[in-house]
Amino acid sequence: MLNLRYDFNNLMEERVGEHGVTDAELRALGPKLVAAASAVEKAPLGFRKLPHDPKLADEVAVLANEIQGRCDSFVVVGIGGSALGNIALHSALNHPEYNQLPRPPRRGPRLFVPDNIDPDRIAALLEVVDLENTVFNVVSKSGSTAEIISEFLVFRDALIKKLGTERHVERIVITTDPERGELREIVKRFGYASLPIPSDVGGRFSVLSAVGLLSAAVTGIDIHKLLKGAVEMDALCRKSKKLWENPALTGAALHYLMDKAKGKNIQVMMPYAHALRDVADWFCQLWAESLGKRVDRAGKTVHAGQTPGKALGVSDQHSVLQLYLEGPFDKVVTFLTVEEFRTTVPIPPAFPGFEAVKYLGGHTLNELIRAEQRATELALTQSGKPNCAIRLPRVDEETVGALLYLLEMQTAYAGELYNINAFDQPGVELGKNFTYGLMGRKGYDAKRREVEQASKANSQWVVNT
Ligand code: PA5
C-alpha cells in the first residue's frame, strides 16, 4: 500500500465557489476522459516499461557499486531531462547536507549535477574535484546537445591532461541511446563504459531509466524500491480508467478543466518538505515541455499548455504567497505534503513571560510546518483560490518512485485531453538548431544567418548606459 492521497477537495465549486470545478463540468468531460484513458493504455509509451525492468536496475546497481569503490566525486554531465530527475532524486532521498558529510556515513561519492554550462560554474567545479578520484557520467539521449557535448569535451580534456589518454577512459561513463547518435559511436570506438536510454523514452520521462538511476544508486539510494513505488502506481493507473479511482487521470482531468474552463493557466507546485523542492523543478519541465505546444494533433494552432511554477513551503509564505492569495485568479496551487518527517525537532520551552515566544515551546518544528501548510491551504481556499494536495505518508524511495510516476502519467493523460503530442519538443529543438548554427556546426548555416539577421533587425530599441 502506497498510502499516497491526491486530495482535490479545494478544486471544487463547493470549496472555492465560482473558481472551482462543477459536477456538470466533470460530467461533460466524461467521454473525452474515457477516450484519453484508452489512448494512453494503447499507446506504446516507453517510459511505462521502465519500472518493470529490474534487469536494468541490476546492471545499474553493479556498475554503481563498482564506481562507489573508486571515486570520491561523481559528476552528472547532463541538462534538462538528463539532469533534473537526478537532482530531484538526490535532494529527496539523500541527506540534506550529503556532500558535506564524511564518508561514512555518506553512502557514496559526493554528487555534482551542474545542469548548466556557465563557465564560472564549470571552472569552479574543476577546482573542487580531484580528477584522480572523479567519475563523470555524460548523459545525452540525442548524443548531440551542445551544452552536454561541450562539457564532455572540457572534462575529458582535463582528465587527459591529468591522467593521460589511456587512463582517462575509466573516468567516464556515457548514458545515451543504445543505437543512434554520435555519443554511441564514440562509446563504440573509444571504449567508454556506457548505459542505454531506450529509444522510445524522452529526456523528461527518463528519470527511472539509467539516466536517473545511476547517480541515485551511486549515492546509495535503493533504486529497486524506487521502481517498486512506480510499479505500484502503474498498477493503479492500469486498473481503472475511472475518475476518482485513477489518481493520475483525475489529476489530468481537473487541471485540464482548471485551465480550459476556469482560466487558471498557471499551476504552482508548492512542497511543504525541503526534500521535495527539486521534485517541483523536475515537474515544471515535465508539465511545460510536454504540454506547451503550438499545434494540436490535427495541425491546428492552439498554443496549449498550463504554465508551471514552483514555490517552497514555508519559505515562500514570506515571498510570493501574498500574490497567490490576493492577486489574479489565474493559478492553481498543488501542495506536496508529508505526514512523517525523518526527524523530529522539539522546540524547547523558554521565556515564560513573553506571549509571542512561549506558546511555541513544547511543540515541534514538525507540528509547525504542518500547521503552516494547513493554514496556507485554508487561506487560499477562503480567498477562492483553487488548490489541491498530493499527500505522502513519508519521503522514501517507494513514495518518491510513485510520486514521479503519478506525475508522468498525469502528464500523458493531460496530453490526450489537450490533443497534443506530449512527447516531442519542437520549440526546444528550434533553439538547439539556432545554437548549432551560431557555433558553426555543419549543415546549420541557414540557422546562423537567421539569428544574425534577427539580431540586426532588433538592434535599435536598446537603452545603453
Ligand atoms: O526533456 C527533454 O527532452 C530535454 O530536456 C532533453 O533532456 C535535453 O534537451 C537534453 O537532451 P539530450 O538528452 O537529448 O541531449
pLDDT tens for each residue of 400-417 = 999 999 999 999 999 999
Q: 389 forms bridges with which residues in the sheet?
A: 7, 335
Which of 82, 137, 183 is the best mutation target for the ligand 1 pocket, counting ligand atoms within 8 Å of the beta carbon and taking the most? 82
Grid cell of 216 as nine digits: 541515485
Query: Rounded mean pLDDT of 381-388?
Result: 98
- The residues pairing with 417 across neighbouring beta strands, listed in sequence order, are none
Nearest CA to ligand 1 atom 3: 203
- State the pLDDT confidence band at 242, using cuts at 50, 70 and 90: confident
User: What nine digits make up the cell of 128?
Assistant: 573542487
Residue 82 Cβ inside 6 Å of ligand 1? The answer reads yes
* 417 neighbors 15 (Cβ within 8 angstroms): no
Average pLDDT, stretch 342-346? 98
* Distance (Å, whole) CA 252 – CA 130: 46
Ligand 1 contact, 63 CB (< 6 A): no
Spatial strand order of the sheet with 331-340 comes to 5-7, 387-394, 331-340, 266-271, 307-310
Mean pLDDT score, 347-353 = 97
CA 408 to each of CA 75, 213, 224: distance values in angstroms, whole numbers, following the listed order: 26, 16, 19
pLDDT at 429: 85
- Whole-number average pLDDT of the chain: 96
Mean pLDDT of 374-386: 98
At 173 the three-state DSSP class reads strand
Q: d(Cα 181, Cα 242) in Å, to the nearest integer?
A: 41
- Reported as a single tens digit per residue, the pLDDT across 65-101 is 999 999 999 999 999 999 999 999 999 999 999 999 9
pLDDT > 70: what percent of the chain? Answer: 100
CATH no., domain 5-42+226-418 = 3.40.50.10490
Q: What is the pLDDT of residues 141-200, one digit of tens each?
A: 999 999 999 999 999 999 999 999 999 999 999 999 999 999 999 999 999 999 999 999
Nearest to residue 364, comparing CAs of 351, 352, 377, 348? 348
107-113 mean pLDDT: 97
184 lines ligand 1 (CB under 6 A): no
Output the CA 62–ligand 1 centroid distance in Å.
26
Gap from CA of 182 to ligand 1 centroid (Å): 15
Q: Give residue 383's Cα distance to chain centre.
A: 30
Query: So what's the pLDDT on residue 248?
Result: 98
Arithmetic mean of pLDDT, 44-58: 95
- pLDDT class of 462 with cuts at 50, 70, 90: confident
DSSP state, residue 53: -
- Give the containing element (helix H, strand E) for 138: strand 134-140
Closest C-alpha residue for ligand 1 atom 15 = 140
Pocket probe mutation, ligand 1, options 145, 177, 211, max atoms within 8 Å of Cβ: 145
CA of residue 101 to ligand 1 center, whole Å: 31
CB atoms within 10 A of CB 42: 8
Q: Kindly indicate the confidence band of residue 427, based on its pLDDT and cuts at 50, 70 and 90.
A: confident
Phi, psi of 339 (to 5 degrees): -75, -45
* Residue 458 confidence (pLDDT): 65
Is residue 425 in contact with ligand 1, taking CB distance under 6 Å?
yes
354: Cβ–Cβ under 8 A, 6 or more apart, which residues? none
Report the alpha-carbon distance of residue 465 to residue 462 in Å, rounded. Answer: 10
Taking residues 337-341, report their average pLDDT.
98
Dihedral, 267, 268, 273, 276 alpha carbons, nearest 10: 70
**Residue 458, class by beta-carbon neighbours within 10 Å (0-12 exposed, 13-18 middle, 19+ buried)?**
exposed
Summarize the confidence of residues 426-433 as an average pLDDT.
88
CA distance 84 to 79: 7
CATH topology of domain 48-221: Rossmann fold (3.40.50)
Residue 201 has pLDDT above 70, yes or no: yes
- pTM value is 0.96
Query: Which cell numbers hold the place of 262?
Result: 476556469
**Poorest-pLDDT segment among 26-30, 72-76, 355-359, 452-456:** 452-456
User: Is the CB–ligand 1 distance for residue 145 below 6 Å?
Assistant: yes
Q: If you measure from the C-alpha of residue 85 to the centroid of ligand 1, how many angstroms do you get, rounded to a whole number?
A: 12
**Neighbouring residues of 454: CB distance < 8 A, sequence distance ≥ 6:** none
Dist CA 178 CA 194 (whole Å)? 9
**Distance of CA 179 from the midpoint of ligand 1 (Å):** 17
Judged against a pLDDT cut of 90, whether residue 29 lies above it is answered with yes
Q: How far apart are CA 178 and CA 24, in angstroms?
A: 48
Q: What spacing in Å lies between the alpha carbon of 169 and ligand 1's midpoint?
A: 24
Closest CA to 271 of 316, 306, 318: 316
Residue positions annotated with a catalytic role:
289, 318, 432
Q: Which atom of ligand 1 is found nearest the CA of 205?
A: 1
Within the chain, all domains assigned CATH 3.40.50.10490 are found at 5-42+226-418, 48-221
Return the number of other C-beta atoms located less than 10 Å from residue 436's C-beta: 19
Closest CA to 106 of 9, 269, 191, 221: 221
